[in-house]
A and B are shown apart, each in its own frame.
Chain A
Amino acid sequence: MTAVSDMNTPRQTLNVGFRPDGLATRLRRRYFRTPANALISLLGMAALLYLAYHALDWAVLKAVWSSPDGTSAVCRDIAGACWAVIQQRWRIIIFGLFPYDEQWRSMLACVVMVVTIVLSCLPWFWKPLRLSILWCAGFIIFYVLMRGGLFGMRAVMPADWGGLTLTVFLYAAGVLIGMPMAIAMALLRRSEMPLVSRMTGALIDGVRSLPLVTILFTAALIFPFVLPDWLQGDKIWRVIIGFALFFAAYQAEIIRSGIQSIPVGQEEAAKALGLSYWQRTGRIMLPQAFRNALPPTINQLVITFKETSLIVIIGFFDILASGNAAYGTGEWSFAYFEVYIFVALVYFVFVFSLSRYGAYLERRMRFGQH
């Protein structure tokens, strides 16, 4: 093994003899090549600066950042943004209806969940055992913190969970339950037994034909009538299962497309080596399928994060619904724009991080491809 460590890395000699241009040269070439070109560039820049100034003026220069007396009076006669609404009401946005005195628990639980998500993005955790331990620990800590009733913590029912904490929990639980479901559905749909593959196909197509709202509605309100008591569980779990199922139906097709783009020779080579079905699937097919399907998978994960906001229709206060509640008290009702910008910013932080992580994964995996 030591003999191989001093190998030269490939593609390293590519840029010999080529010196990239300086910034000034590149700017001149791209934006000021001809007089007309220069004119358009200047006009464009002027327009951008004008807009940027107005946005800055509203959002920063003329903005009010806090309300010392706790009322909306400070924002009465201003031309800028009233960020005081965030300063006053951020707890509702982030924690929803969670009891005020216990909100440190919700905060901690949210941090635990985010840390769990971030840790499982690190390659070191990509071992089945490590991932399972991480997620079990993450969910148990989250659940104990939120649900309470232990260690002298007051019990808080899931119906009172809300805000960012609820959004992150719903997302993490939905994806974590949905991903194995998706893998199972993708594999079953490729089964050689016609009955199995057709039934899975019907399930996937069936779920995909329904709006998410319908599925959540069914899970929350109709299943209690249909299922025996011991199978019902709490509403939040029924909703998470419904959410996971919806995610899984789409993700299953993404994984299947990833499997189908693997050359036939890969499975043949694995068979010829005497690997069993599960060894072939786990070590040859799925790793390659996920690489092939990485861009649409990230896409689906991004969409799913934003779809969590739909649980408001069955009475859960996710971050967007909590935002509505935060300005909806009458006193702050004029400041809805600021609240929405704040909520949008939170979404942006999560989704943009996810996109960047996807780009990192693509770079990382490119090496091991043809």
Chain B
Amino acid sequence: MSEAAIRITGMNKYYGRFQVLRDINLDVGSGERIVICGPSGSGKSTLIRCINRLEEHQQGRIDVLGTELNDDIGNIDHIRRDVGMVFQHFNLFPHLTVLENCTLAPTLARKIPAEEAEATAMTYLERVRIPEQASKFPGQLSGGQQQRVAIARALCMKPKILLFDEPTSALDPEMIKEVLDVMVELASDGMTMLCVTHEMGFARQVADRVIFMDKGEIVEQGRPAELFDNPKNERTRTFLSQVLSH
């Protein structure tokens, strides 16, 4: 793990008067794979949405790939191209085919020629094992297939960091595995990943570090084995007992 891909220092975020994130300090090394877990409403999603500035923070400092996130808009688009995001509800563009979903941003934002973008898109669609669906529309695919397309779409921008916001939470149980398999494969490629998820098996298998959040704070963090088998904080223990009991 070389220089920090993401560095968050003393960050606070409010919705009006309500504080959603409290004094967040987090360094993510390049190539590091981090899983963020915690009860709902703990600020996990908000935290990773601050990293590509879908949410703005009010205090503290966030540096992503060596650039500070502030109100400079051109700056933000530039950083977003290097930070891919996969959403809970996929958010594929319903009026574009699977292939167009994957080529739109590379051709528009990265100015890659159409043919090259299509070739890249097909490569990634093959990697997520869905190339035969390229000319379909998202509405014709299952949830699991849509989420795999969403992952391919993010990869087509060749991002340096990938953010996953509960990527399997909206899926039917039998589709969770196909998406997790793709994510495990990505993790073994050395992509910097931050993943909000409740899939503890996935966390154990791929995470370098697991972060437990509650009430807008980072409560505890460590290697998955340490945190799962030997949690130090009471809140972590309570949460884990609830998640792992079934």
Contact = CB atoms under 8 A, between A and B. Distances in A.
B87 A279 contact: no
B95 A275 contact: no
A263 B85 CA distance: 17
A304 to B, nearest CB: 26
A190 to B, nearest CB: 17
A99 B199 CA distance: 81
Interface in B121-163: 122, 131-140, 153-154, 157
A10 interface: yes
B94 A370 contact: yes
A275 B54 contact: no
Interface stretch (A14-22, A23-31, A205-213, A283-291): A283-291
B131 A273 contact: no
Contacts, number: 97
B109 interface: yes
Interface in A244-291: 263, 265-266, 268-276, 279, 283-284, 287-288, 291
Contact of A368 (B52, B54, B139): B139
Most buried by B among A274, A279, A291, A365: A274
Contact of A266 (B91, B97, B122, B154): B91
A230 interface: no
B91 A1 contact: no
* A-side interface mostly: helix
A274 B136 contact: no
Given A274-B109, A367-B137, A268 B80 contact: no
Interface string B91-121: 1111111010000110011000000001000
Contacts of A329: none
A265 to B, nearest CB: 4
A3 B52 CA distance: 35
B94 A273 contact: no
A365 to B, nearest CB: 8
A285 to B, nearest CB: 10
B89 interface: yes
A334 B122 CA distance: 72
B132 A265 contact: no
A273 B85 CA distance: 8
A327 B179 CA distance: 74
Interface in A339-370: 365, 367-370
A273 B95 contact: no
B140 A272 contact: no
A275 B122 CA distance: 21
B72 to A, nearest CB: 13
A227 interface: no
B108 A272 contact: no
Contacts of A283: 104, 108
A7 interface: yes
Nearest to B78: A274
Contact of B105 (A266, A273, A365, A367): A273
Interface in A1-49: 1, 3-5, 7, 10
B157 A274 contact: yes
Contacts of A7: 132-133, 135-136
B93 A265 contact: no
A291 B78 CA distance: 30
A275 B139 contact: no
Contacts of A271: 52, 54, 80
Nearest to A272: B85
Interface string B65-99: 00000000000011111111101010111111101
Contacts of B104: 273, 275, 283
Contacts of A1: 118, 122, 134
Contact of A272 (B83, B131, B135, B138): B83
A370 B79 CA distance: 31
A5 B93 contact: no
A288 B95 contact: yes
Contacts of A4: 99, 131-135
Given A3-B132, A4-B131, A10-B140, A279 B109 contact: yes
A288 B133 CA distance: 22
Contacts of B136: 7, 10
Contacts of B137: 367-369
A272 B52 contact: yes
A288 B87 CA distance: 19
Interface in B164-217: none
Contacts of A10: 136, 140
A288 to B, nearest CB: 6
Contacts of A263: 89, 91
7 contacts: A3-B132, A269-B91, A269-B92, A272-B83, A275-B105, A368-B97, A369-B95
Interface of B: 52, 54, 77-85, 87, 89, 91-97, 99, 104-105, 108-109, 118, 122, 131-140, 153-154, 157
Q: Which 4 A-B pairs have the closest CB atoms?
A: A274-B81, A269-B91, A273-B105, A265-B91
